[in-house]
Amino acid sequence: MRVDSLPLSSTCSECGKRKYCLVDDLIENRTTPGKRIFILNTSVRVDSHIVYQGDKTKSLLFVKSGSVKSVYTDESGDQQITQFYFAGEYIGLITLKHQVHATAAITLENSIICEITLDPIVNEAVRSQPFLSKIHQRLDAEIRRQYHNQLINNQYPAGKRIGMFLLELVERQKLNHNNTALLRLAMSRADIANYLGLTAATVSRMLSMYNVLGLIAASKKNIRINDINALRKFVA
Amino acid sequence: MRVDSLPLSSTCSECGKRKYCLVDDLIENRTTPGKRIFILNTSVRVDSHIVYQGDKTKSLLFVKSGSVKSVYTDESGDQQITQFYFAGEYIGLITLKHQVHATAAITLENSIICEITLDPIVNEAVRSQPFLSKIHQRLDAEIRRQYHNQLINNQYPAGKRIGMFLLELVERQKLNHNNTALLRLAMSRADIANYLGLTAATVSRMLSMYNVLGLIAASKKNIRINDINALRKFVA
DNA sequence: CGTCCCTTTGATTTATGTCAAATTCGGTGG
DNA sequence: CCACCGAATTTGACATAAATCAAAGGGACG
């Protein structure tokens, strides 16, 4: 991670997010309590590159708070947002086993990002089957999500894409120990549009539609899902 | 690989495709010449499942001849072709480091598929840095392709998608030691359409357009790129 | 030789993009 | 704390690319 950011000094043992972090498993087996596993625990400002496309993989990034987008840029400069990452999620899992980051990572809001050294992770993965499974589980989920998005963007109309996008975010928030129907979309409409293969105008229109239907209550960055089952039914 | 198929008995040393196969590196370092590294070397009929979605990863599949599609199926049965694989390419690289195949693999024509045990590959990868790099190179290329396709399908119009698809196939054929402007598209128009997020009718129309423009000569499954630079310029 | 399936081509509809104006929001400085 | 500015968002009118529906043509295979 190369970026102007505030290093926050603390140990993993003291970290509030510890029990949602892979590092937790590593600390349990340590004789030296209070050991720091991470390289950097930093407060990062909105719109900062925390990974550049083409960077060598040397760590895993844990989003402690805030959110991040992954952006692929092609030779002619066109860009594709390939994924959003939220609090409790890891950036770099897909890249973990090969050498370079195929996408950049950019914060969508002021965030706290913890950079975790690869070595102890890999060592523990070799030693402990349950730990390896945890990593696999997260990686598998991300890869499945990737394929599912490809399907959605290729075959479904704009309304369903937005609806499924919202549903996915609620599900992920739940997985990340925030089981509410309240979403905070830190990214711009244009970012959502790029991610879903639409335009900002269409994203706006579809959100308005869901609003009118009473399925959601959207005001700017904040969205409440009024009736998640009705929404599920609507996009099915 | 679980499929009705003809096992072809032979050794890796005798294999004609040996020098394009990762296994070649393994044989060089063996004291026992003629060793078989693969599990199965089989002739597979068109439209056979050689991998099922959800299967545990236990081998790498090398396409010796023919071609294969990767298909992701979601809960409601909708399908997305996520990739095509051609002679000289490996299926399962993305899956290699996690446990289950997120997609099925289905032959697009009669093909010869060699199933390679994971263990010797992994062992050699740990031992030899150059060998590991070879794998990384192929995996990186596939992941980059994946992101690039996402960009193309989300942002480019039908004509460019088809044009870039053809260009990509020519490039890959070149990488696979077949440097010609002649393509054989074993997959149906519907498969191409699904892959590119279009309909079969649109694929057909766009190929006709390129035909009329004289950029390609397409007849059914066979396509000749008449002027690759003109085509590149057209889609840029 | 005939049937069936795939592909091509045509006519029409429609969803979403484009362009532009109006509105709201958030941040800044007085 | 409020007023102002610029940027993002919403909304509207319109254009258009691609989907849909349907028919005709062509190959492969029994």
- For the segment A77-89, what is each residue's pLDDT rounded down to a tens digit? 999 999 999 999 9
Q: Is the pLDDT of residue B32 over 60?
A: no
pLDDT at A25: 75
d(CA B44, CA B113): 7
Look-up of token digits 């071609």:
B67
What does the pLDDT read at residue A37?
62
Residue of B nearest to A99 (CA): B136
Q: Which of B100, B136, B146 sits opposite A140 (nearest CB)?
A: B100
d(CA A191, CA A46): 14
| Alpha-carbon distances, residue B8 vs B20, B42, B87 (angstroms) | 19, 5, 17
Asked if A190 and A196 count as a contact pair (C-beta separation under 8 A), the reply is: no
Contact B70, B49 (CB under 8 A): no
> What is the C-alpha separation between A103 and A109, in angstroms, rounded?
18
pLDDT of residue A151: 98
In chain B, beta strands by DSSP E: 6-7, 38-44, 49-51, 59-65, 67-73, 79-86, 90-91, 104-107, 111-117, 182-184, 216-219, 222-225
- Tell me what the pLDDT averaged over chain A comes to: 88
Position A31 scores a pLDDT of: 47
Residue B8: per-residue pLDDT: 66
User: Å between B8 CA and D29 C1'?
Assistant: 27
3-state secondary structure A17-71: CHHHCCHHHHHHCCCCCCCCCEEEEEEECCCCEEECCCCECCEEEEEEECEEEEE
| 8-state DSSP, A13 | G
A39 touches strand D (CB under 7 A): no
A44: left (phi > 0), else alpha (psi -120 to 50), else beta? beta
pLDDT, tens digit, for every residue of A97-153?
667 899 999 999 999 999 988 888 888 888 888 888 888 889 889 999 999 999 999
Give the pLDDT of residue A82.
Answer: 97
pLDDT at residue A88 in the model: 93
pLDDT of B9 higher than 70: no
Instruction: Return the percentage of chain A with pLDDT > 90, whole number.
Output: 61
- B103–A contact, CB cutoff 8 A: yes
- When mean pLDDT is compared across B117-126, B155-164, B190-199, B207-216, the lowest value belongs to B117-126
Q: Give the sheet arrangement for strand A90-91, strand by strand.
A: A5-7, A38-44, A111-117, A59-65, A90-91
Q: Which of B80, B94, B99 has the CB atom closest to A150's CB atom?
A: B80
Rounded to an integer, the average pLDDT of A50-76 is 93
pTM for this prediction: 0.91
Distance, Å, A111 CA → D7 C1': 22
Q: What is the pLDDT of residue A97?
A: 66
Q: Which residue has the tokens 């009473």?
A: A214
- Rg for chain B (alpha carbons), in Å? 18
Please give the Cα distance from A14 to A8 (Å, whole number).
12
pLDDT in tens, A177-200: 999 999 999 999 999 999 999 999
Mean pLDDT, chain B, rounded, equals 89
What is the number of other CB atoms lying within 10 angstroms of the CB of residue A71? 21
Task: Work out the average pLDDT over B90-98.
Answer: 82
Nearest residue to B15 (alpha-carbon basis) of B116, B129, B138, B131:
B116
| Contact between residue B218 and residue B162 where contact means Cβ atoms under 8 Å apart | no
Q: Which nucleotides of strand D lie under 7 Å from a protein CB?
A: 8-13, 17-22, 27-28
What is residue B199's predicted lDDT score, i.e. its pLDDT?
97
Pairs of CB atoms within 8 A across A/B: 86
Collapse the DSSP code of B24 into the 3-class scheme (helix H, G, I; strand E, B; otherwise coil) and give the result: helix
Grade residue A235 by pLDDT with cuts at 50, 70 and 90.
very high
pLDDT of A43 reads: 87
